[in-house]
Amino acid sequence: MSQVNVGLCGLGTVGTGVVKLLQNHAEEIKHKVGSEINIKKILVHDIDKKRDVSIDREWLTNDPEELVNNPEVDIIIEVMGGIEDTNVLLEKAISNKKHIVTANKDLMAVHGQKLLRLAKENQCDILYDASVAGGIPIIRSLTEGLASDRIQKIMGIVNGTTNYILTKMTDDELAFEPVLKEAQELGFAEADPTSDVDGLDAARKMTLLANLAFKMEIGLDDVEVSGIRTISQEDITFATSLGYTIKLIGIASIHNGKAEVTVEPTLLPKDHPLALVKNEFNAVYVYGEAVGETMFYGPGAGSMPTATAVVSDLMDVVKNTRLGITGNEYVTPQYEKQLKENDEKYMQYFIRMEVDDTAGTFQKITNVFTDENVSFAKILQLPSDKEKMAEIVMVTHKISKQQLLNSRENLKDLDVVNRIISYYRVDGED
């Protein structure tokens, strides 16, 4: 193949980066893959929009058929987003024997397994490294560099927007809303940032990583998700005074063949490697049975970092095509899905509550925890703004989620507990 023709769906933040990279690194790319890569068509909404990159106007179209049914197009790069319509479009492209490169985690988390199977049936590649952690080659690392190992735990900051917000709230004591607006202006928040702040974007990415790491079909519904909206400046202050930093952490772990995938605000010791990841940066820690600890760090979003992953996938497709080995990605899960129950999920917890500032309060509270066999690593009490009230923060030793839920229910029944203000997972202390 002296020439490869690409149909590019989308010319926004990522699509523009892809075009720039293909133009600016054309010689190096050709040298590495042995073919010239041409853009044949670009699908956009608005053909007349001013573009931030030099393109031939003839390439632009708003008719998807000009890409997916075009016999001259070999590979589709999908960087336009969307789930259902985009799925239909890619199914059609694959049925027409076109290889796919996508950055679309929303699509892959929902329809990825089906698309992978269809691609295999048609001997096509579908590569999606850019869909998790932008410029960090984490999917590539799990499928290639760490392929020989058994992955036991993945723990990551995989959403740049929430990491940016939490960094600004912690380091500069800024409020949530204006920082979110800033993240949108900087281009890493989703068009609808709900999926960022409520943890769904991170959950989609963790689903993709868990599937690859544990070789079982874990769906989005199997992920326990909570976002960062409820984190207050007071939570951050208490966490800081106990030596922690709050981050939105995705965790996928497996023990005795049973998996658990969560995305939730998590307190990490302030010198933990993930606690030191600031602003929109992403980082993924992977623990493998043989390799031990590895950590991947870099830009999780943005035009050029994400384009780097997209174009590297594109180059792999070109190489696979030349070698005649397309459509060989792993698609069949090796194991039946098994998920941990609440009494099999062990972690530390930070619990903050408002209580009566009277004699005997502490004893009543500790009795509840003693009944559930819960012991504490740290306890802090401070006066509350409210008269005759105090605030207590407790950090437990490792307990099961069931122990936490039982204790929480029983605390609600205590007359001395006015309210449980917040509770968060604590990780990284062992």
- List interacting residues with ligand NAP (CB under 6 A): 10-15, 43-46, 49, 62, 79-82, 103-104, 130-131, 134, 188, 191, 301-302, 306
Place of tokens 């122990």: 403
C-beta neighbour count of 252 within 10 angstroms:
27
Of the pair 128, 188, the CB lying nearest ligand HSE is at 188
Report, in Å, the least distance between residue 83 CB and ligand NAP. Answer: 9
**Under rule CB under 6 A, how many of the chain's residues touch ligand HSE?**
11
Site string for ligand HSE, 121-140 (x = CB under 6 A): -------------x------
Restricting to residues 266-305, name those near ligand HSE by CB under 6 A: 300-301
Evaluate whether 14 touches 80 at the Cβ level (below 8 Å). no
Of the pair 129, 235, the CB lying nearest ligand NAP is at 129
Place of tokens 């619990």: 351
C-beta neighbour count of 83 within 10 angstroms:
13
At residue 137, φ and ψ (nearest 5 deg) are -80, 65
Evaluate whether 279 touches 365 at the Cβ level (below 8 Å). no
Q: Could you say whether residue 74 binds ligand HSE (CB under 6 A)?
A: no
Q: Could you say whether residue 201 binds ligand HSE (CB under 6 A)?
A: yes
Report, in Å, the least distance between residue 177 CB and ligand NAP. Answer: 21
Of the pair 160, 428, the CB lying nearest ligand HSE is at 160
Of the pair 69, 194, the CB lying nearest ligand HSE is at 194
* List of E strands, 10-115: 36-43, 60-61, 75-78, 99-102
How far is residue 65's CA from residue 70's CA, in Å, rounded to a whole number? 7
Report, in Å, the least distance between residue 189 CB and ligand HSE. Answer: 5
Q: Residue 70's binding partner, choosing from ligand NAP, ligand HSE, none, with beta-carbon cut-off 5 to 8 A by kind?
A: none
Q: Does 205 qualify as catalytic in the annotation? A: yes
At residue 345, φ and ψ (nearest 5 deg) are -100, 110
How far is residue 174's CA from residue 166's CA, in Å, rounded to a whole number? 9
Q: Could you say whether residue 106 binds ligand HSE (CB under 6 A)?
A: no
How far is residue 324's CA from residue 306's CA, in Å, rounded to a whole number? 27
Q: List active site positions.
A: 205
